[in-house]
Amino acid sequence: MKNSKKTVLITGCSSGMGRITALYLSRCGYKVYAGSREPYKLREIENESLVPIKLDIRDFKSVENALSDIKRVDVLVNNAGYGLVGSVEEVSEEQMLEQFDVNVFGVFRVCKAVIPKMRENGGVIINISSFLGKIGLPLLTFYNSSKYALEGITDSLRHELKPFGIRVHSVLPGFFDTNFARENLVTNKTTFSEKSPYKSIVSTLAPTLIEQINNGNDKIEVAKLVLKIIEDENFKARVAIGQKAKKFIPMRQILSDEEFEDRVESYYNLDGLK
């Protein structure tokens, strides 16, 4: 897709990958609408090419209102999301529904509003998934399954929108140095209490995950990859990025389920837990 001031909509731009991608694409000549529930957080980077908009993907009316004055969208980057950490046994129904409302149905809402603006001229939809959309880990069952769902959305939409010249891609990041561990992880208090039957898993896994996230790859790598996808009409449908993603995704493709699970448990020191 050649850039002649193409219009990009990105969700979840208050921080992390969304923020850096919005800033990077605006500097590369794109007109970027940076969606956030708290657009005031983007004022310091606002300019003629980067326009913050109030966008709550949990509310279809909010999505419609945000897009009402945007006549054309050439690129949609579904980036907004968060991770729920807790056992299936202990997480509340409200928490599990909220996880899917944001990570899955939020994507549906934005796509539903954007696709009509894309059908006439074609476009690109890029879903920021996770390498955990291909790998299961304890305590992240809800987050993992929401990203597994996003992978299914991506694959099906690719077929559904191909006749209209709309490309659909999935980016599967590993752990990146963003505010994710500090701001976008929601923990279930019961699971993290001393009385939880899962406390041995928590004490083993949680510190490792937080350390890996906080010491992950530079998020600018994701922004640069998004640009490549936009500008290369033959870019592959799905791409892993980051050290952990590049380690586990190829492994997942060549090992049996049992072999792969053994590798994951060994890597995260889960194989000796009882």
Report pLDDT digits (tens) over 79-137: 999 999 999 999 999 999 999 999 999 999 999 999 999 999 999 999 999 999 999 99
Check if 143 is active-site: yes
Task: Give the pLDDT confidence score for residue 232 in this predicted structure.
Answer: 97
Q: In 101-140, which residue ranges form alpha helices assigned H by DSSP? A: 106-118
Q: Of all helices (H) and strands (E), which one includes residue 53?
A: strand 50-54
The β-bridge relationship of strands 123-128 and 83-85 is: unpaired
* Full DSSP string of 180-221: HHHHSEEE-TTTTSTT-TTHHHHHHHHHHHHHHHHT-B-THH
199 is catalytic: no
DSSP code for 197: T
Q: CA-to-CA distance for 103 and 83, rounded, in angstroms? A: 9
Q: Which helix (H) or strand (E) holds 23?
A: helix 16-27
Is residue 8 a contact partner of residue 75, using CB atoms and an 8 Å limit? yes
Structure-block tokens of residue 50:
């980067």
**Structure confidence at residue 156 (pLDDT):** 98
Which residue out of 87, 129, 146, 170 is catalytically annotated? 129
Q: With 60 as the cut, is the pLDDT of residue 45 above it?
A: yes
Residue from 6, 14, 33, 134 carrying the catalytic annotation = 14
Instruction: Say how far apart CA 149 and CA 80 lie, in whole Å.
Output: 15
Q: Which of 86, 80, 74 is nearest to 8 (CA)?
A: 74
pLDDT at 85: 95
Query: For the chain, what percent of residues have pLDDT higher than 90?
Result: 81
The pLDDT of residue 214 is: 76
Residue 217: predicted pLDDT: 81
Q: Which of 6, 31, 117, 147 is catalytic?
A: 147
Q: Comparing C-alpha atoms, which of 172, 175, 174 is closest to residue 154?
A: 172
Take residue 253 and report the two structure tokens written for it: 């493709």
The pLDDT tens digits of the residues spanning 50-71 come to 999 999 999 999 999 999 999 9
- Which of 24, 33, 143, 198 is catalytic? The answer is 143
Coil/strand/helix, residue 67: helix
Could you tell me the CA-to-CA distances from 93 to 59, 90, 225 in Å, in that order? 19, 9, 36
Domain boundaries, the chain: 7-267
- The three-state secondary structure class of 241 is strand
Helices (H), ranges, the chain: 16-27, 60-67, 93-100, 106-118, 141-161, 180-183, 199-214, 220-231, 243-254, 257-267
Name the fold adopted by 7-267. Rossmann fold (3.40.50)
**Which residue has tokens 């599967």?**
172
Verify whether residue 147 is a known catalytic residue: yes
